[in-house]
Amino acid sequence: MAKMTLEELRKLRDQKKSDIQKRDIEGKDTQIIIGMGTCGIAAGAKGVLDTFLSELDARQLANVSVTQTGCMGLCYVEPTVEVISPNMPPVIYGKVDAAVAKKIVDEHVIGNKMVSDHVFDRPSADIIQDGGK
Amino acid sequence: MAFRNYILVCGGTACESTKANDIFEALIAESKAQGVGDEVQIVKTGCFGFCEQGPIVKILPEDSFYVQVTPADAQELIAEHVIKGREVKRLLYNKEGSRKHAKVEDIEFYQKQFRIVLRNCGFIDPENIDEYIARDGYGALEKVLFEMSDEDVINELKVSNLRGRGGAGFPTWMKWNFTRNAVADQKYIVVNADEGDPGAYMDRSTLEGDPHSVLEAMTIAGKTVGADQGYIYIRAEYPLAIHRLEVAMKQAREYGLLGKNILDSGFDFDIEIRLGAGAFVCGEETALLESIAGHRGMPIPRPPFPAVKGLWGKPTVINNVETWANIPVILLKGGAWFDQIGTADSRGTKVFALTGKIRNSGLVEVPMGTTLREIIYDIGGGIANGKKFKAVQTGGPSGGVITEEHLDTPIDFGSLTKLGSMMGSGGMIVMDEDDCIVDVAKFYLNFTVDESCGKCAPCRIGGRSLANLLEKITSGKGELADLDQMVEIGEAMKKASLCALGQTAPNPILSSLHFFRDEYLAHVVDHTCPAGSCKNLISYFIIPDKCIGCTACARKCPTSAISGERREVHLIDQEACIKCGICYETCKFGAIEIR
């Protein structure tokens, strides 16, 4: 790169900052945990992971980290995803695909509203308004 | 671009020497082979500080802290952690054998630390300027070039109360201001990276992990005091730090952050590296400047101080690496922010290299005012192998010993000096009950005698005389009068030596004589060594009641000094015994005693 001016340096910093913030775990209050057991991967968890990463990127949500875990034990509804965010109970979603992943980002992470159709195991079914599935 | 995982591999010298580079390459190869090459970012960072457990690999965002990793583990880390989201439990750090301490925040070693100097160490790739810039790098330089006046910069440093981290603790703003006010056609900026204390590697790790922080600070100083040339004086035996500095300087020049007309501001500044040959005395600032100028590395009397008459007789700001690394943060966050951290006497943090008989060796950065007990027991995990704490040596060969009763002293420049030791550059060597205090004093003194440049008589002759007396004492020929004579010589050296090397060389003896006089007395009066380490004062004997005649010791003895039939009591031939102690360590029945 050629020599920079002040403006160019600032522009470069802004651009690189969002990259390095994704690496930093400080200041992230919301966690999306994806079950990547053999069952999860077979059911398409990898695609779900990619969708979450690109959706968060597109919406520039710097406070969310996407982590992986092994099988959560709900192999009948894979792929499973747990979302832990402030002001919300920890929720485990099942049968998540790319479309549901987008919905989780929009409704749960941004809108603070559960995607009730896909709640399994936690929180218990009786507190979900429409009974859960 | 978002990655599913960020894999940080420690690229400090300590971890590199245990194959961190191979691990790095293996992780890259494995991630490609397993089809996730584009989905993970693998970064070689600076030192994580927890060198005891190296090589270290940290995987984000799970924040899994993998220790003692080998290149062969790369396959499993990618297959299990990255692809299947399962932590590789056998590699996670644990304290007591259960592999449950997965996250960095759960590790005691890191809990009391506060990182300013090492802010980027172990997080960014030091060979990529973009990552430094992304962490607000060169933001302070921007402010200095375009927003702040030179007075503002000096004033911000004054408010921060930053004191030099090289040992003496001189207020940094005053140094800068002397040079700024000096009238000269040429001024210089110098980094003292001639780190030579035994066991100290704070500066090396800072330069290896975050070289741009020092380059940025030098440029800031150049602008503030009116210098256009800087020098980094670093030991040739720090090849990795030198390499990273060279890479950083090249990148900074390409970006126009170093060289002519920096960021179009009209300000010129450039930096050159000068390699030292490893003489301890060249860490002394006047000797260092002599060495840069191509002369023999010997101190010259002060005043005049380098701030007014330094390199080639020109006004020169010379600061230690750690001091420099603090500067950009202070200017970004403000002097008042820095002034809140630490104690009234000393603001900010201090990096220590914790070594010796400690469980968690490594590099720690704590706020000033942290107690020695917190560093040694909470961060350091206490003494290794369940032995008893004896003393801690701070300030390297210029410092002194500090005992159990003073462990709760909050550390700052003043408190350590009051205890007869000093902050020094930050070496901290922990001793246990097996260490003979006289022997330790002898070790440090021999170091300073070797490293004395010989220019002034108090250091040259005094040091040698002290070494002779200590040799006499540890070989069992000491007399009571020797102790007083050592104090007399030591006090004279303190007063009359030309530079800090000679002035502080007697400190290990004087402070250990003060705190451990009994142990010296045991050597000169009873001619014994209570710690069992001075070979001329001890003998090994077999306790007949305990010896079962297993022959284990006899088989291991390198000089065949142990005789005896199977199932009969053995005997050590004192004439043949070289006191290596192997029999003592070999015996499973505690049948060997040291007298």
CA distance B188 to B192: 13
Write the pLDDT tens digit of every residue in B397-414.
Answer: 888 999 999 999 999 999
**Helix residue ranges per DSSP H, B452-534:** 457-474, 480-496, 500-504, 507-515, 517-521
Final residue belonging to a domain, choices B432, B450, B477 = B432
Q: Are B142 and A4 inside 8 Å of each other by CB?
A: no
For B426-444, give the DSSP string: SEEEEEETTS-HHHHHHHH
Domain CATH number, residue B80: 3.40.30.10
Q: Are A6 and B139 inside 8 Å of each other by CB?
A: no
Whether the CB of B105 is below 8 Å from some CB of chain A: the reply is no
- Shared-domain flag, residues B36 and B76: yes
B509, two tokens? 């003896």
Domain CATH number, residue B387: 3.10.20.600
Mean pLDDT score, B66-93: 91
Residue B587 has pLDDT above 60, yes or no: yes
- The pLDDT of residue B106 is 73
Q: Are A20 and B131 inside 8 Å of each other by CB?
A: yes
- Shared-domain flag, residues B426 and B441: no
Write the pLDDT tens digit of every residue in A16-25.
Answer: 988 888 888 7
SS3 assignment, position B293: coil
CA distance A101 to A51: 7
- Shared-domain flag, residues B446 and B423: no
Residue with tokens 């801690």: B392
SS3 assignment, position B12: coil
- Shared-domain flag, residues B547 and B507: no
- The pLDDT of residue B487 is 96
Domain CATH number, residue B581: 3.30.70.20
Q: Are B142 and A10 inside 8 Å of each other by CB?
A: yes
% pLDDT > 70, chain B: 98
* Whole-number average pLDDT of chain B: 92
Domain A29-127 adopts which CATH fold? Glutaredoxin (3.40.30)
- Shared-domain flag, residues B95 and B9: yes
SS3 assignment, position B193: strand
Query: Which structural domain range is residue B546 located in?
Result: 539-594
Predicted model pTM: 0.88
Q: Are A9 and B6 inside 8 Å of each other by CB?
A: no
| CA-to-CA separations, B94 to B53, B101, B110, B267, B343, in angstroms, rounded | 10, 5, 13, 51, 33
- The pLDDT of residue A122 is 67
- Shared-domain flag, residues B513 and B578: no
Whether the CB of B285 is below 8 Å from some CB of chain A: the reply is no
Residue among A2, A17, A54 whose CB faces B134 most closely: A17
Mean pLDDT score, A69-91: 86
User: At a CB cut-off of 8 Å and minimum separation 6, what does A130 contact?
Assistant: A116, A117
Give A45→chain B minimum CA distance, Å: 10
| CA-to-CA separations, A99 to A48, A65, A104, B157, in angstroms, rounded | 9, 19, 9, 54
Whether the CB of A67 is below 8 Å from some CB of chain B: the reply is yes
Least confident interval from B177-181, B317-321, B529-533: B529-533
Final residue belonging to a domain, choices B480, B500, B526 = B526
Q: For residue B54, report the phi and psi dihedrals to the nearest 5 degrees.
A: -65, 165
Work out how many domains chain B is built from and give that number. Answer: 5
User: At a CB cut-off of 8 Å and minimum separation 6, what does B139 contact?
Assistant: A13, B328, B332
Domain CATH number, residue B267: 3.40.50.11540
Write the pLDDT tens digit of every residue in B196-237.
Answer: 888 889 999 999 999 999 999 999 999 999 999 999 999 999
B324, two tokens? 């420099």
CA distance B278 to B262: 33
Mean pLDDT score, B451-456: 93
Write the pLDDT tens digit of every residue in B144-203.
Answer: 999 999 999 999 999 999 999 988 889 999 999 999 999 999 999 999 999 988 888 999
- Shared-domain flag, residues B199 and B323: yes
Residue with tokens 């059911």: A43
- The pLDDT of residue A117 is 80
- Shared-domain flag, residues B262 and B325: yes
Q: Are B134 and A13 inside 8 Å of each other by CB?
A: yes
- The pLDDT of residue B99 is 45
User: At a CB cut-off of 8 Å and minimum separation 6, what does B383 contact?
Assistant: B357, B358, B359, B389, B430, B432
- Shared-domain flag, residues B169 and B278: yes
Residue B534 lies in a domain: no
Q: Quick one: DSSP state of residue B557?
A: -
CA distance B180 to B584: 63
Final residue belonging to a domain, choices B339, B371, B403 = B339
Give B361→chain A minimum CA distance, Å: 26
- Shared-domain flag, residues B379 and B446: no
Which of A25-39, B75-89, B208-222 has the highest mean predicted lDDT (pLDDT)?
B208-222
Least confident interval from B320-324, B515-519, B538-542: B538-542
Amino acid identity of residue B34, one-letter, is: Q
Write the pLDDT tens digit of every residue in B42-51.
Answer: 999 999 989 8
Amino acid identity of residue A29, one-letter, is: D
Residue B344 lies in a domain: no
Q: Are A70 and B135 inside 8 Å of each other by CB?
A: no
- The pLDDT of residue B152 is 96
Residue B269 has pLDDT above 90, yes or no: yes
CA distance B570 to B594: 15
- Shared-domain flag, residues B179 and B300: yes
B520, two tokens? 């010296």
ipTM above 0.85, yes or no: no
- The pLDDT of residue A131 is 42
Handedness of CA A52, A53, A59, A60 (dihedral sign): positive
DSSP E strand boundaries for B186-225: 188-193
Q: Are B6 and A23 inside 8 Å of each other by CB?
A: yes
Residue B100 has pLDDT above 60, yes or no: no
- What residues in B contact A66, CB-CB < 8 Å? 4, 61
Write the pLDDT tens digit of every residue in B278-292.
Answer: 899 999 999 999 999
Mean pLDDT score, A121-128: 59
Whether the CB of A3 is below 8 Å from some CB of chain B: the reply is yes
- What residues in A contact B138, CB-CB < 8 Å? 9, 13
